Amino acid sequence: MNRKPIIALALLFFLAGMNACKRSKDVEDPTVADKKGPEVVLNNNTSSLSARVSYVNDAVSLMSAGDKAVESREDFSQYNLQLIAEVAAPTYQGKTLQATHIDFAGNKVYVSYNTRGETYLGGVDVFDVSNESRPTLVSQAIMPNTDISSVVYNNNYVYLASATDADKDVTLTAPAVLDRIALSNGLLSSSTGRVQLKGFVGKNIIAKNNRIYVVSAEQGGLSVVNPNDFKEEKYSPFTGSVALSSNASGSTIFVLKNKPGQIIGLNANDLTTAKTIALGADLPETESHIELVNDNFLHAAGRAGLNYLSSTGALLDNIPVPANVPGADPADVVSNNVSINNNLIYIANGAAGLYVAKLDGNTLVLLGKASLGASTNYVKASGNLIFVATGTGGLKILKMTAVTTSSSTVPCENRSTLASDVNGNRNLNSNVKEYFSGTTTLGGLNVNSNAIFDFCGNLTLNTTSNINSNGAFLVNGSLVANQQFNINAFAEIVGSASFKGGLTVNTNGKLKLLPKISGELYPVTGDFHVNGLAEVNNGTLQISNRLTINSNGRLRLVNTNLIVNGDFDLNGTIEFVGTCNVIVNGRYTKNSNGSVIGSNTGKQL
């Protein structure tokens, strides 16, 4: 956040030496609430606002990045990253604003702006993202005389942590303010309000438990505001407070301080200290951020990169910023901000670009970087969308979706049909490659070392089938396996799949289920044992008997529901990506080696 240093310094000297030194005293006085709201210049004309939005719809590739090894490209193969739109920064009276903060709420996205240099000038944009492929800019408010550091939506209001030109309003005792703008039918309105804060700039803001928590810097601290009467209820001074976060329930509020570098955990009801975590070094003054992951912290720490910290502050892992970025000032290569969504981590690394990683236990796995042609100052992801603020370069809107294309390298057209053999077994010996189509029933199938069985159409297997070491089994259409199906190598079904016997993915096995139609039901009538990797995309995995994920096994669910009608034993890893719901009708046991990555609804694992 631009602190307007020249004005702030002049104001400090002014407060110290003039009769107006009452202002310095007033900074310590109780908040004066219900000040008149900020001036706003509204534009709710979607036709004129649409001129700021360019729909690009270009694929974005992830490239090798940084000094940390990038995981295999295959691990990221289940995602498509696409640049949906570019949004020009708003302008006012010849000045270009820069994006500072982003908040998602339902099908709306709120973006705040300030202005570089000495000018106080900010704004707010509202996007409708009901159609993820075509986000629409529906409302804009320009705020002359006020910079905005961060924004949050709460109960039909937009709340703004701000700094305003106190010389333009004699009722103010200092520049730091909390502003709000009422929404009318989802659009910004002229109904505004303002609460005086301590200090010179409102920095960061969150809404929890029907309260607004906001930190202000430079002689500031943490204020708790009741949105019902829009008055400050509690205040606690924190020198150098720069960012806020909370646990999921909102019972603990975490304040990030830069000098000394600390994370302070506060009881939300009375602001008493619950824990203090020393970070070992002072932090950058303007750009630093924390995000909670269960009880641990993702900390965007400037030149130190992204740190993953335990609940006690122990460093679990780190993704450093690159040592050299051609053409960039090293001071601009910093981890400004981090956002985690669907177990994917997005890091705004300034001039180094947007980095993408994921959590695997306590390990940060770097997947790569996306070059967006501009410095990345802030990033926020929700659902499939990622909003990236690039300063005066405006916004980049990206979409991350699951890949649902076949791994087959041979088109389905012009293949030979395969005659049914209801009682016989088909055996593919080493290095044999077969490509067929049609509607076929086989007694059973064995795909042996380095062999490929690639089928387009409807395939039924009546007896036990095996995909053996280094073999590959590909179906584009539908598969019905009436008895045990064992995977020791690679198996992929694009379309529907029904396993009426047991299903086992062994240690070196990999199973991918990709639907042609979102919401596909994948039933497993027998037991499902996962010793390798099984990945299910955009559907429902329904297991009639027992699900067992063993110590080296991993079940990855991408926008997929899980229904287990029998028992569920978790000895390995289950990973949730996107929106996933879990129902377990039998006994659930998580053993000491069991691990849950990502979040789900329903049965909490």
Cα separation, 434 vs 417, in Å, equals 11
Candidates 168, 602, 83; CA nearest to 387 is 83
Return the CATH number of the domain spanning residue range 5-402.
2.130.10.10
Cα separation, 464 vs 502, in Å, equals 9
Contacts 24+ apart (CB under 8 A), 421-426: 422/462, 423/462, 425/463, 426/453
- Lowest-pLDDT choice from 65-69, 229-233, 386-390, 503-507: 65-69
The confidence band for 78, taking pLDDT boundaries of 50, 70 and 90, is low
Residue appearing with tokens 């009682």: 423
What's the pLDDT score for residue 64? 54
What's the pLDDT score for residue 339? 95
pTM over 0.75: no
Cα separation, 443 vs 148, in Å, equals 68
Q: Where are the domains of the chain?
A: 5-402, 416-602
**CB distance 82 to 59 below 8 Å:** yes
The confidence band for 88, taking pLDDT boundaries of 50, 70 and 90, is very high
What's the pLDDT score for residue 562? 97
Q: How far is CA 23 from the centre of its chain?
A: 42
List, for residues 20-55, the tens digit of each pLDDT value: 332 232 333 333 344 568 899 999 999 999 999 999
My answer on whether omega of the bond before 326 falls inside 30° of 0, hence cis, is: no
Residues 6+ apart with CB under 8 A from 396: 83, 85, 86, 87, 372, 374, 387, 388, 390
How far apart are the two ends of the chain, measured CA to CA in Å?
Answer: 39
What's the pLDDT score for residue 281? 72
Candidates 380, 383, 411, 412; CA nearest to 395 is 380
How wide is the angle at C-alpha 328 spanned by C-alphas 325 and 331, nearest 5°?
Answer: 100
C-alpha Rg value of the chain to the nearest Å: 28
Residue 331: exposed, middle, or buried by beta-carbon count in 10 A (0-12, 13-18, 19+)?
A: exposed
Residue appearing with tokens 């699951």: 402
The confidence band for 318, taking pLDDT boundaries of 50, 70 and 90, is very high
List, for residues 328-357, the tens digit of each pLDDT value: 888 888 999 999 987 789 999 998 889 998
Cα separation, 43 vs 142, in Å, equals 8
Candidates 482, 436, 447, 431; CA nearest to 461 is 482
